[in-house]
Chains A and B, each alone.
Chain A
């Protein structure tokens, strides 16, 4: 099987997306781990528990847990609490599906981008970044 593309999911009209990084120290299950009404991480075992993913460029190594994560992510898009983009190392069907259906159903693309381990490690919480159309991640301003 061929390697997945760097730009895993984006809408056809998706332009560059800018946002501030929230780097998760552990993967997050969007279902059971995210309150779609508020965008808050509610997984009480998670290091970033209590933080909000809304509008952030969410950086996490891989997906986790429940199949319902796709539904939770879609509902977060509808509620306006979803991340602006998601950057991952491992391609993940559950995350991809939430983003695909957000585009198909509401025409609201949520770019899901793949990066390698080294690139991921450079993205720190608070960094201002831009997700380009080709899926590359450009840092605009590093966090202090």
Chain B
């Protein structure tokens, strides 16, 4: 097997377009070889995850490209960074590290990337169309682009995102290709309680369960009573991509390549069918908790963190509704992370001001589990995001309680963990 390169590819690889394109092309080509690709393909957009600071080495790489004169040749958005440029005082980390993080951000903006600073680029106005070939990094965004938009990106890591943006080329491999996009594992949701339907907890828990079973295979979810919305699909993908390496999923009747179960499977028999019971879901929920709860009465809470991935307008709306006209407890710090565009919209609606006066801190450009923002990391932290619940204990050293958006709102007001176990009750729940 050999990788076939076009004349333009060879020119880029040989340095004919300068040293930055040469380095970027070497990374794309070596990745293509590692993945067994036979050719490269043109991409029309990129989303770069490499702008989040992880130490000197990735900064060395970005500055090498920048110094060599790299410029993106396709529209390119940027993922979250380590700093909130709109609210710089929120950063509690080492000032020197903060300066290095800023240098990294500047390097990518200098290459022509748009300073979008969001892990939910699919919530921006311009987003890839069905069938469009793109190079996206950021695991939750990859899952959304492939599954919900029907755009095509492989599960890219850092570095190749910017290299694809600089060369306009990506390996013709993985989820770019038809044959790798069909589902091979069916998840049949056997039973849901009324309380789980329409509850943010369900896609998070189901996604976690799916991710831990499928690894990098493509799952399809069947048996949901109601067609899910984009926030639901976003939560499912983010959870599945954290618990496993899911780059694409289907939901029968909801995602564009799964009008039917047969279509999602591409006419083949599934390799595996997993029946998801209520007990499976509840056990998965329990596994997301690292904090020890004494039964819900004395569990004092230090932090509530929402918006992983970045909250959408409708997700803000649900939290605003759940909070009502109440203030959060003085002992609890509540953070909601979002993108700048969404912040503009909720400012216009008056929600941002209302949330701030209720004691909520709105975070943009970054996320509370990738950089030091939390004021208190000693007490338990509650979240409505399985992804945050998964990563925060390792990244921040906090104990986590996972709950629904509503449970997070109730707990924030009460100052202690309030879980609504009636959502697990069969057949009798008032919402």
Residues of A within 8 A of B (CB): 1-5, 8-9, 27, 29, 31-33, 36, 42-45, 61-72, 74-75, 77-79, 90-98, 100-101, 104-106, 112
Contacts and interface: CB of A to CB of B under 8 A. Distances in A.
Contacts of B27: 97, 100-101, 104
A67 B139 contact: yes
Contact of A36 (B54, B159, B180, B390): B54
Contacts of B173: 1
A74 B242 CA distance: 20
Interface in B28-79: 30-31, 33-38, 49-50, 52, 54-58, 60-61, 64
Contacts of B37: 1
Contact of B139 (A66, A74, A77, A105): A66
Given A71-B50, A71-B54, A4 B35 contact: yes
Contacts of A77: 57
A92 B57 CA distance: 21
A36 B55 contact: yes
A41 B30 CA distance: 28
A92 B394 contact: no
Contact of A44 (B137, B142, B215, B290): B290
Contacts of A105: 57, 60-61, 64
B242 A66 contact: yes
B154 A101 contact: no
A42 B290 CA distance: 14
Contact of A3 (B1, B30, B138): B1
Given A1-B179, A5-B36, A79-B55, A67 B174 contact: no
B34 A91 contact: yes
Given A101-B61, A105-B61, A67 B49 contact: yes
B158 A70 contact: yes
Contacts of A31: 54
B204 to A, nearest CB: 15
A36 B412 CA distance: 34
A5 B31 CA distance: 12
A44 B389 CA distance: 11
Interface of B: 1, 23, 26-27, 30-31, 33-38, 49-50, 52, 54-58, 60-61, 64, 137-139, 142, 154-161, 172-174, 177, 179-180, 215-216, 241-245, 287, 290, 390-391, 393-395
Contacts of A45: 287, 290, 390, 393
B36 A94 contact: no
8 contacts: A9-B30, A45-B287, A45-B393, A65-B241, A68-B157, A78-B60, A93-B154, A100-B159
Contacts of B395: 32, 42
A31 B154 CA distance: 19
Contacts of A71: 50, 52, 54-55, 57-58, 157-159
Contacts of A44: 290, 393-394
Contacts of A79: 55, 57
Contacts of B244: 27, 64-65
A12 to B, nearest CB: 10
A59 to B, nearest CB: 15
A64 B148 CA distance: 21
A98 B49 CA distance: 13
Contact of B159 (A5, A66, A97): A97
Q: Top 9 nearest A-B pairs by Cβ distance? A: A94-B157, A2-B1, A70-B157, A75-B55, A4-B36, A78-B57, A71-B54, A70-B158, A67-B137
Contacts of A112: 34
A93 B156 contact: yes
Contact of B215 (A3, A62, A74): A62
Nearest to B1: A2
Contacts of A9: 30, 34
A96 B160 CA distance: 10
Nearest to B48: A67
A5 B33 contact: yes
